[in-house]
Structures are given as C-alpha cells and as structure tokens.
Amino acid sequence: MLTEVTATRYIEPLHSGGSVPAVVEADDLGTYVLKFTGSAQGRKALVAEVVVGELARELGLRVPELVLAHFDPAIAEAEPHQEVRELLHASAGLNLGMDYLSGGADFTPELAEVFPVDAREAGRVVWLDALTVNVDRTVHSSNLMVWPTRGTVPPRLWLIDHGAALVFHHRWGASPPEKAYDFRHHALGHYAPDLPAADAELAPKVTRELLREVVGRVPESWLTCEGDLDTPEKVRAAYVDYLHARVQASRQWLPTGFPSREELAAENAARAARTQRGRPDWLKRVPDLHGKPPAEQDWSVHLG
C-alpha cells in the first residue's frame, strides 16, 4: 500500500492545471503536490494517477513518490480565492500526494530542443502511455518534468500527471482493449521512440500479478461501483482484466508514424499562418502576449 501522511501546512494552489492541486507540507517533513478528491475530474482521475504512476514505477520509469494524504481544510483557512476554498472543503479526508520536485523544469517544446532523450527511454514512455491510453502527454502539454536542474546530479526526465489516462474507465465496455490510439503528437515522438524494443522489454513484465498489486494500492473509497461492477472487488478486477488484455494485444496498438522536428515545426507554422489569416488587420499588429518566452535556464551548464 502507499504510505499515508497528514498535511500540516498549506502553502499555495497551483493554477497551471485544470484540477488546481496545491503544494503542502506533511507530518513526515515532506513537501507534496496534493491532488484533491473534490476536483472537477473526480476520483477516477486519482485512480488513474495511482494505477499508471505505480505501474510506471514498477517498470523502472521515474515517477515522483505517491502518498495518501489526509487533509483538513482548516489548515487552508487563509486561502483568498472562493473557488479554491470550495474545492478544499469538498476534499476533506484522504487525497493523493505527489512528491514535489522543487526547482524542476517543465518539459516544454523549447527545452525539448536541447534536452537529450534516447530512443530507448522515449520508447518506454510512449509504450506506457499507449498501454494506459494516456491522451495527455502531447507536444504542447507534456506532463513531463526535468529534475534536478541544479547541482552535479545529471537532470533526468520524470513522468507526472496521469489523471487523464485510463479513458476506458469512464465508459466501461465502450473501448476494446486492442483499440489503437493516435499518438502522432506525443511529447517524445520526435525522439524516434523505439517501440518494438520497449514492447519486447516491458510487455512480459505486465502480468496479472503485477496489475493486481498496483490496482490494490488504490483506496477502496475512490473506486466507482456502477452497472455490473457493483462491488470494489469487481471494479479492481475490471482494471486488471482490461490492462492485461490490452498488453496481450500490444502489437495491434503500437504507435507508429511520429513526425520529425522539422515536420512539427512546419505544422506549427502552418497553424499559425491559418490563425493569422483569420484575424482582422488591426489584430495582426498586436503581439502574442500568450506565447511562452524561451526558457531562462542555461541548460548548457547541465547538458555540456
């Protein structure tokens, strides 16, 4: 089972994601990003976080430690935003904590231009995302971080935010396990991911026993009983059955046909041109205030 902690200090909300997680300190002296049961994504997002995050860890991929965090909204009484306060009060009790990678850098398209990822590592990440039907690791929203970014330890790629994975559990039975998914714009697609090697390495490791262990780490109170899945045991078994059937059919859903950096740049330029053509003349002269500035971090210090 996951380690249990109690949040003791509320630091700040994070407005970068739709679920509005928060940074907290806990009684084990750790600092965590807390994802709440009361968020709009609901408990199924937390189920996906646990199942995919723990499966990734068991397969040797880097994922921040996950903990079950008891949260009392009273520690966040000073939160000034009403919407956030409502979220916190709706989330009293057990929530999910993810180890806070202090100083980590988001894996942005700018950073991807200079950060090395070999074909084997890219293939393993893409394979995991394809297996777990993760639709939220794209070029523009990678849900990847680089950490550490200071010191003598080489920076590494870390996987975060898996709440949008396991899309099949939103409509059980609607998506066959062998169904292919379009990963053309996966965040690591232009690193020439070696999918056959990843499949040969990882598929044999995803056994029923491993899946039962990983799904068993999900708190029972987060499981949604619905239809024929009317007990927590049946819900857990449904996750195990689906993922095991999917890994058995891996040759049918292995992604192919990733665009190169040049092709991605051309697609982005074409998209920008279409957007520009649709603007009135006066708006074409207005600078793009929402564009992301180049990364301020001097990555040459770390990457040589």
**Annotated domain spans of the chain:** 1-250
**Whole-angstrom Cα distance, residue 115 to residue 266?**
21
Between the two ends of the chain, the Cα-to-Cα distance in Å is 40
Rounded to two decimals, what is the model's pTM? 0.88
- pLDDT at position 179 is 93
* pLDDT tens for the chain, residues 1 to 304: 899 999 999 999 998 767 899 999 999 999 999 999 999 999 999 999 999 999 999 999 999 999 999 999 999 999 999 999 999 999 999 999 999 999 999 999 889 889 999 999 999 999 999 999 999 999 889 999 999 998 889 999 999 999 999 999 999 999 999 999 878 889 999 999 999 999 999 999 999 999 999 999 999 999 999 999 999 999 999 999 999 999 999 999 998 878 777 887 787 788 778 877 766 665 555 444 444 443 444 544 444 4
- pLDDT at position 236 is 98
- pLDDT at position 300 is 45
- pLDDT at position 264 is 75
For residues 124 and 132, the answer to whether their CB atoms sit within 8 Å is no
- pLDDT at position 113 is 85
- pLDDT at position 196 is 95
H, E, C per residue of the chain: CCEEEEEEEEEEECCCCCCCCEEEEECCCCEEEEECCCCCCCHHHHHHHHHHHHHHHHCCCCCCCEEEEEECHHHHCCCCCHHHHHHHHCCCEEEEEEECCCCCEECCHHHHCCCCCCHHHHHHHHHHHHHCCCCCCECCCCCEEEECCCCCCCCEEEECCCCCCCHHHHCCCCCCCCCCCCCCCECCHHHCCCHHHHHHHHHHHCCHHHHHHHHCCCCHHHCCCECCECCHHHHHHHHHHHHHHHHHCHHHHCCCCCCCHHHHHHHHHHHHHHHHHCCCHHHHCCCCCCCCCCCCCCCHHHHC
- pLDDT at position 240 is 98
For residues 35 and 96, the answer to whether their CB atoms sit within 8 Å is yes
- pLDDT at position 235 is 98
**Tokens representing 4?**
């249990």
Position 50: which residue type?
Answer: V
Burial bucket for residue 15 (CB in 10 Å: 0-12, 13-18, 19+): exposed
Q: Exposed e or buried b for every residue in 182-216, given b needs 16+ CB within 10 A?
A: ebbbbbbbbbebbbeebbebbbeebeeebbeebbe
- pLDDT at position 292 is 42
Burial bucket for residue 117 (CB in 10 Å: 0-12, 13-18, 19+): buried
